[in-house]
Amino acid sequence: MHGGEGRGAAGAGATTERRFDVGQLTRVEGEGSLRLRVRGGVVVEARLAIFEAPRYFERLVVGRRPDDVLDIVARICGICPVAYQMSAVHAFEALYRVDVDPAVRTLRRLLYCGEWIESHALHVYLLHAPDFLGFESVVALAQADRGAVERGLALKKTGNAIVALLGGRPIHPVSVRVGGFSRAPRPREMAALRPALEAAVEQALETVRWVAGLPTPDLRQAARLVALRHPDDYPMNEGRIVSSDGLDLPATDWEAAFREEQVEGTNALHARTLDGGAYLVGPAARVTLAGDRLHPLAAEALAATGLAEEIRVNPYRSIVARAVELVHAAAEARDIVAGYRAPETALATWRARPGTAAWATEAPRGLLFHRYEIDERGRVAEARIVPPTSQNQAAIEEALVTVAPGVLDVPEETARTRIEQLVRSYDPCISCATHFLDLTVEREP
Amino acid sequence: MARPRLGVVKFASCDGCQLTLLDLEDQLLGIAEQVEIVEFAEATSARSAGPYELLLVEGSVSTPEQAEAIVELRRQAAKLVTIGACATTGGIQALRVFADHDAWRASIYPHPEWIESLATATPIADHVPVDAELRGCPIDPGQLLEFLTATLLGRRPRLPDEAVCLACKRAGSVCVVVAHGEPCLGPVTRTGCGAICPAFGRGCYACFGPRETANVPGLRRSLVVLGNAPADVDERFAGFTALAPPFARAAAAGLAAAAATGGDDARR
């Protein structure tokens, strides 16, 4: 499980079926493995298997009250707890027809900006960038380019500071409640964020220039893209579910176009379109489908890279999409803080009513759908939670089938690095999807 | 002198406690100069199955494979330290012990037979001896830094065992029990979070687990006298440290009441 077993070359089997293990996938959130089946030199199947121990969140919330659900679902993921709180709180408020203060809506966007900055800076600088430059970790990268790493850490710290101001702490914040916030920040507290946010915008712009110049493998793997789209805003808390092939649904109706299925050998359910197709959610999907809603500074930064089309087709370029979203989140957070006025009513009153509470928001890794059945007592009778990584699994597997033939005959260590880099470009959060990647190649005649 | 070898591993958990190490943005590169990070799958592709001078363990044991892995990890670790509510008490996923695990598995997975999972999610100390623990869901970055600094200097870490109430008073927060009659578990919960829930206008939900000599029956009585329904008070314990022995009885009663039908519960 941890380190040790299954790492390094596992050696050749019979001449007709060769296996080699590449070991636990590192620099991802969670434990997963990868199996390739090769027949006659052709990769016929790639399977991303998730071994993260199941924690049964969809059952843990049954019988509980909506406010308690907000605390519980945050624990699905230490990297994106706000996302889980946001999809759930909007679902409950939609069912209860709660009218939240417009300033609460703005504060929720600010909270999400904080999480996007923290999560994207973590992924870009600590998890993914070392791949492009041939380093095993951010610590090794820091020895070569300490300035870059310090820039990434400063961004991450600012994202965490936003979440901590609004929610008490960066991981598992405590203030999100049905109806708003248990406490809204005072203008003076918000003002204290301004210098860090001014700096964050510059750091994020520098991040876009830096990642756009990283040596990047070529790959064309156009996937069906799915994201929220909103008439005014870059998608976070609200919008309709749209796709690159014309889908357009209310955020409550994910189940009208997608389904989940269980695949043997993995602890996460996979999501596909109803016709069985793979699709991609996350920064590349959002930048492609809602790029016209980006903050002008982010739109300008994206245009200056000239990589908008590459982001759509080359998964390795997702790091550029993530950096563009860093600019967006930092700039929007800066603007919100500059124009902040405290909500008149931080916490609206509400009455529970039975029915279906459903919503989707944009987690840092993509669309996150929740549905709860609320009973007559105002408690959860049934729950369904569909995280972004479950939705991306099929698309990751399709990209692996494309890339794998090119690495079958290269040295083991190189193959592992290249495959891992591809998987990491999807920023899989395996804790969310239910973590370690062993690469197994099975060769058949 | 060789730097001590640090490992960070996880079992059933959300990754938030190990992330807390990466959240020490101002100290991370300094720490990496003081220790050699030899195993930390979330942060580095360099791997080591041991030995470790210091091993930080996140998460609870919830699969047969994990129950075997922790025994080997203990053999490899000179000092094994559990981090967070999952590793020290079982975590939220431990609530399965109050339910029918097989029924849960079957309700989520169409093919439950493909899923390897135990009917329990247990703290690391139930399986192997543990040298120290950091509490919290998630752990506090200040406590983690204090622990690492003390360990490197060879002194005893200062990890206070007092009630959340003391930090709450020092912070000058209004007592949510006295002012609003809110059920707050601060009096029986170990400090370390900074008393953030009362500062944000809500009662403590015990994510740092019980302090020593926690008087749970006494707190229950007081909260009921203040007008809280006994079942509501009990349900408060059924959270992230529910399986900690001082809380488990109340948590079980609270969950049983929550599962029972009847009674309109709509609030506010």
**Which structural domain, as residue segments, surrounds residue A277?**
57-341+379-386
Residue among A328, A287, A326, A327 nearest A310 (CA): A287
Are A73 and A180 in the same domain?
yes
Q: Check CB contact under 8 Å for B268 and A183.
A: no
Measure the CA angle with vertex B185, ends B188 and B254; round to 5°.
Answer: 110
A324 and A294 in a single domain? The answer is: yes
Domain-embedded: residue A310:
yes
Instruction: Note whether residue A405 is domain-resident.
Output: yes
Tell the burial category of A187 from Cβ atoms under 10 Å away from its Cβ (0-12, 13-18, 19+): exposed
Distances (CA, A) of A431 to A57, A76, A372, A409: 12, 7, 21, 32
**A79 and A28 within one domain:** no
What ipTM was estimated for this complex?
0.96
Whether residue A253 is contained in a domain is answered as yes
Is residue A3 pLDDT above 90, yes or no? no
Q: For an interface test with B, which of A1, A2, A267 has the most B Cβ atoms less than 10 Å from its Cβ?
A: A2
Probe site for chain B from A22, A51, A55, A153 (most B CB atoms < 10 A): A55
Output the six-digit token pair for A54.
Answer: 């199941």
- Does residue A199 register a pLDDT over 70? yes
Nearest CA in chain B to A177: B202
Mean pLDDT, rounded, of chain B: 93
Query: Are residue A79 and residue A210 in the same domain, yes or no?
Result: yes
- Note whether A62 and A156 are same-domain residues: yes
Contact list, A59 vs chain B (CB under 8 Å): 96, 99, 104, 107-108
Can you name the residues that pair with B210 across neighbouring β-strands? B189
What pLDDT is recorded for position A430? 63
Predicted local confidence at residue B117, as pLDDT: 84
- Close Cβ partners of B100 (under 8 Å, ≥ 6 residues apart): none
The domain limits of chain B are: 5-153, 164-260
Domain identity same for A39 and A98: no
For the cut 80, the answer to whether the pLDDT of residue B70 exceeds it is yes
Contact at CB, B15 and A349, closer than 8 angstroms: no
Does the structure show a pLDDT above 80 at A265?
no
Same domain? A83 vs A24: no
User: Is pLDDT at A299 greater than 50 in this prediction?
Assistant: yes
pTM value? 0.93
pLDDT of residue A410: 81
Alpha carbon of A436: minimum distance to chain B alpha carbons (Å): 8
Q: What is the dihedral of CA B252, B258, B261, B266, to 10 degrees?
A: 160
What pLDDT sits at residue A48? 76
Nearest to A380 by CA among A228, A182, A178: A178
Residue A363 domain-assigned? no
Question: Is B190:B210 a contact under the CB 8 Å cutoff?
Answer: yes
Above 70 in pLDDT, residue A14? Answer: no
Please report which helix (H) or strand (E) contains residue B37, including its range.
strand B36-40
Examine the domain organization and report whether A210 and A285 are in the same domain: yes
How many domains in chain A? 2
Pairing of strands A32-39, A176-177: unpaired
pLDDT of residue A436: 31
Give the model's confidence band at A24: pLDDT under 50 very low, under 70 low, under 90 confident, else very high. Answer: low
Identify whether residues A284 and A419 lie together within a single domain. no
What average pLDDT does the segment B1-11 reach? 92
Residues A326 and A403 both lie in one domain? no
Same domain membership, residue A206 and residue A299: yes
| B-interface mutation test, from A28, A56, A150, most B Cβ less than 10 A away | A56
**Do A180 and A246 fall into the same domain?**
yes
- Residue B243 near residue B90, CB atoms below 8 Å: yes
With a cut of 80, say whether residue A10 has pLDDT above it: no
Query: A235 near A331, Cβ under 8 Å?
Result: no
CB-based contact B202 A174, cutoff 8 Å: yes
**What would the mean pLDDT of A210-238 be, rounded to a whole number?**
95
Q: How, if at all, do strands B36-40 and B5-10 pair?
A: parallel
Q: Percent of chain B beyond pLDDT 90? A: 84
Partner residue facing A267 (CB), from B66, B115, B255: B115
Residue A229 pairs in a beta bridge with A240
Share of chain A above pLDDT 70, in %: 88
Q: pLDDT tens, B129-176? A: 999 999 999 999 999 999 999 999 999 999 999 999 999 999 999 999
Side-by-side strand order, sheet with B132-134 = B36-40, B5-10, B52-58, B77-83, B132-134
Judge whether residue A433 has pLDDT over 80: no
A27 contacts in B (CB within 8 Å)? 41-45
CA distance A262 to chain B (A): 7
Closest-CA distance of chain B to residue A328, Å: 22
The predicted-structure confidence for A324-380, as pLDDT tens digits, reads as follows 999 999 999 999 999 999 999 999 999 999 999 999 999 999 999 999 999 999 999
CATH code (residue A311) = 1.10.645.10
Q: Please say which residue of A351, A370, A386 terminates a domain.
A: A386
| CATH numeric code, B5-153 | 3.40.50.700
Mean pLDDT value of segment A94-111:
97
Q: What angle, 0 to 180 degrees and rounded to 10, lies between the N-to-C axes of helices B216-225 and B245-259?
A: 40
A432 domain-assigned = yes
